[in-house]
Amino acid sequence: MFLSPLRKTRSHPGERALGATAFNRLALLCRPALVVALGGMNRVEAAKWPRNIVHGWAAIDAFRR
């Protein structure tokens, strides 16, 4: 399942992000569902999260040029 927004995003300016602590708590509550992080994600951010918390990640801006 998608859990969003982890971080602030350009696609939703002014909206409040969950932040790492709230995101982690919610991701753990989602178990056994697999969580896909969305919101301010890129390869660097994704690498910070253990696979048992974040199964994958999705992005909009990370793929734009």
Interval 41-58: pLDDT, tens: 988 989 999 999 999 999
Q: For residue 23, what pLDDT is reported?
A: 95
Sheet holding 36-38, edge to edge: 2-3, 36-38, 56-58
Q: What percent of the chain has pLDDT over 70?
A: 94
Q: At residue 18, what are phi and psi to the nearest 5 degrees?
A: -70, -40
Q: For residue 64, what pLDDT is reported?
A: 66
User: Across the chain, what does the average pLDDT equal?
Assistant: 90
Q: What is the mean pLDDT of residues 11-27?
A: 92
Sorted by where each begins, the domain ranges of the chain are 2-63
